[in-house]
Structure 1
Amino acid sequence: MFNSFGNILRLTSFGESHGKGIGGVIDGFPAGIRIDMDFVQAELNRRRPGQSLITTARKEGDKVEFLSGIFEGKSTGCPIGFIVWNENQHSNDYDNMKEVYRPSHADYTYKVKYGIRDYRGGGRSSARETISRVVAGALAKQALRQLGVHITAYTSQVGPIRLEENYTAYDLDLIETNPVRCPDPVKAKEMEELIFKIKGQGDTIGGVVTCVIKGCPIGLGQPVFGKLQAALASGMLSINAAKAFEYGDGFKGLKQKGSEQNDVFFNNCGRIETKTNHSGGIQGGISNGQDIFFRVAFKPVATVLMEQHTVNLDGVDTTLKARGRHDPCVLPRAVPIVEAMAAMTILDFYLIDRTTQL
């Protein structure tokens, strides 16, 4: 059950980094949605490895193969099964990690919990599992388009380099014009240079992805245990290397007084709106029709290509120098994953809202 995400719209994923492939089954997807296969593949291409000098050198085509639930280009309402075959595993790169626990990885906790672990790339704890999320998110995005909902994420911070302004100050059409996926070309260049420098040192760096959801219907979410922001946080914090989540003004708002942060209502040609959006489009756990925006902090990748102290399976002190192909910074490839989790969450809550109103 813990390999599944969602309520009515539900993704169950399977597969390991160095297994045969990664796949999933999507239940509850609405029938009659026209599926653009090229769009799904384009989303996977944004996530795949080897797309620039600042990502892992692993070469994978990441071509998705749909097995069920789509007929004549439309969803049938039946379970949508799919798989992406692994093609470029270098499992021998992990032979020196077989008998030791990698610092800040899931090795130790997996071994204690299950009594066994897949040391080749981390098995289920590998970020390669997020392929399934991106496929499901690409389908969810296409369903949300019919509702006028659009989701955009971008890199807003790498290490100490950050965008200082709100998302409204940037041209989000520029996100895909650079390998960092940052809408500020100057900052993007600085971020790229920092990542490349860190990569040359065999080290890693973290940062922040910002996400904006435009056109979200009013009323999604429940007031107590089904708060929309809690569901978004749950989805985001399930992503590998995610460490923190904040929406609206978040911690920044702690510096303001209530009179400064309150979003005052006004009548905009017959539509009730707010003059500001400190709440981030969610009030009382329910969407209010304004833009939903949030930030997800990602830690530096745990695999560093330098010698570190650790212990072996018997608890004896030793050292480890990792080998293999790893991202020096997850941010560029995390952008489409954040969008995918947001899309699945919003579509799921839209379907929940429809059932509660019957």
Structure 2
Amino acid sequence: EYTTLLHCPRIQVDKVYSRDANVLTFTKKLTKITGMSEQWVAAQIKQKGENKCIPWKSLRDQILAHLDTKKRVDVFALSIYGLVIFRKALGHIDEAVTDLFDQLDRMVTLVPAILAETFRFLSVCRRTGEGRFIGCKQLLLVWFHSHFWKMDKELSATLRCDDITEERWMTILQNLQDEEVEWRAPWMVVDEIWYHCGDFDWVPLLRIWGAIGYAPLFMLRQYRSRQLIPATQGLAECEFSYSCNNYRGKIRKMSNAWKQIHPVKRITVGATTTPEYHWWRSKRINDNIPRPREERKIEQLEEEKLHLGLDVDIHKMEAEKLRKGKNKAEEDLD
């Protein structure tokens, strides 16, 4: 949906951003983008916590005064990326944003990076029970209206999210009913789901400040397909920042995984959830992978996969995991 909303015809949807190993210095990147001298750029750079950045005021002056029209547009675009889409310090554009911006000419898609920041901040707020969402609020609000437009005329008619009080938001979200949720945006025509990349059981998303894992099989209902329990074992360990040890090796592994995307055709079914999924979601079990049970036969798994339209690879993968889990359980009992 974000790809459609952003409407960038030049991007390749499977060519993702990843941090360059031999990246230029912040000063050199800004010099290249703005067309200004290194001396001028160096004088504008500020330190905000652990990150370097440049104030919006410095870039705004260049947008108004620069003689090169293309450079004015580039600086304006960089400002939007740094102030709206990838925000870090208020009123400043972070150094990491310039690295992504520098790669746009290679036709990389920035959508996975946007999603990575969105999922990370939402997850932090959910885990702690508090906090502020620092991702791209504008895109998230458009997504929100696309899926919850039926539930409240007041919400649908409100053009600005600031016009709805915090208490009103809480009331709306706490009283959501299944029939009020449009699982799939009416204008979406995609009939294919990317459910994992490379050797990962999910899709690794590279952020501009780190990485996070995401399991698209969580959202099968969004495609009106049957929702079951996704494999999430090890998903939490997929999250890291670029300040951790050996992050370059992790980036390389994730980037290579995107060269092996595994799509699946969606299939519309009657019942959109399995009983097991309802139980799992109510318990909110993390790092879950289906365990072998006497009453859960391989044939039943195959039937579930048939309803999903998953390809042969995932059939074999899940069956093999079941067999390994069963063997381990028997060894533990012995």
More helix by share: 2
Q: Larger Rg: 1 or 2?
A: 2
More strand by share: 1
Q: Shared topology, TM-score over 0.5?
A: no
Compare relative contact order (CA 8 Å, sep 6+) and give the higher one, 1 or 2: 1
If the length of structure 1 is used for normalisation, what is the TM-score?
0.24
If the length of structure 2 is used for normalisation, what is the TM-score?
0.26
